[in-house]
Structure 1
């Protein structure tokens, strides 16, 4: 069971402020979704615990982006292991958001539904990381903002927007009312009146829990947020009969669990060092589908095609990540 994310206070405890650099990050209005990984397999977790395979469909349709999320999280954990050593597990905490963007120049995404309402981020689902907890033999360490950005680079995952960096007294003076910066991060045109939920203030650097104790974190929310019904209009997501990603969640999860570095290494060994990423990706996908089909007693052609389409972003990331040396 992963660590639940600590409850964030809305006021500082008594005592002097810790010296050093702090950050203010945008608080995204979505659904809490953690990615729990040992660098090989990734599981999704909401606040109440690990999601089972069937819940990948019903949890706001996260199955639509699960192959990329899972493969990227495993990639991040391996990178963290290379830099820190002795890593047993990494928990990436983030917010699942998006699903609707009411702008005349932005095309709606078929089958998408808003995770939350009142603040608009993206026509499709997007997952934004706000923290990472690393479990090692020596204890637990919160990664710093720069660490997290570095490890996410090139994976297709992003951090929540950084608003300010400086001393705590400076950072906590960030205005509470400001337009969300997520659409700009995603290259989308702005919407009028699309205000952010607020922001979170925390230490900027790495935080070893055994050495420093609990990490101080503060949230500052838009005063009108709790009272305005516009921000609470989301409806339960009802996935299509064939699954949010075009295939049942259990089948997608079984396939994603087979997206591992050894499978990519096997393809490289078979095709040779000159094989390009597209050729490698095709080989990995064909091998995975053949393996899965054999285990399940067969896959229909249409099911195989839809599963291949859903897996493609994760496969491309897997073959683009350099093998460990």
Structure 2
């Protein structure tokens, strides 16, 4: 039987963002739980954002997925997503080039508290459809499920306008259930284009938007990550599901509702202790929480999929997922 363990969080020694409300952890009557307190603090100032590096992002992700696949219960799917990430890396290296929105538009959006990249950025990107078709051509689906091949052919047979419309729906978080298989490929191309655009933004001009909202493109986070970069050692960041940007978020505070109460962390003995879930009893949501500072190879997208057992267990306790993994819609 899978064994859950729980950590009751302790407030960090210092925060760079506004201080959280006093923490009042609530204990739940879970069986077979094992306390594992985390007393990691943060000192000094940390960057608000870390922009993606498209040249390495997808290649590193593909390698991580391939490493996690052998013997895993989701081995076939991990290998499939590894192939998608490999194809992403291939088309990223070949172009086509991206362009940022008009400078005046960037300033206007910043003044109104909106992320610089929007659906209008996608609509104005002439290279998106070219990248999507290049991705579909690059993919080796020899061992993939039959539905994947059918989805690829459906996208190829569709019109440019239909592919763009589907991409806009994904950008806004409205994935059509009857086209989920197609969404994986469209989302993959979207990630490449947005990562390229985000990488060219001015970090000094980026501002917080809202809890759980990427300051670059407005996307939802895949996971929460405690990093080891200098000067952000052991600071907490959220990783965007769309553009791959990391942005700083207060420790022990819900990424969905902003509450600092009722936050707990759970894990499974069968899964690395460096991958857990952060739960909030205020809004009953959860998000994956990766200790990348202890295991630098962890990737938000890859290790979210590889730790699916945590999703199954925590859902049994009534929590709903706050994060979003566009390559693993559950």
After TM superposition, the score normalised by the length of structure 2 is 0.23
| Bigger Rg over Cα | 1
After TM superposition, the score normalised by the length of structure 1 is 0.23
More strand by percentage: 1
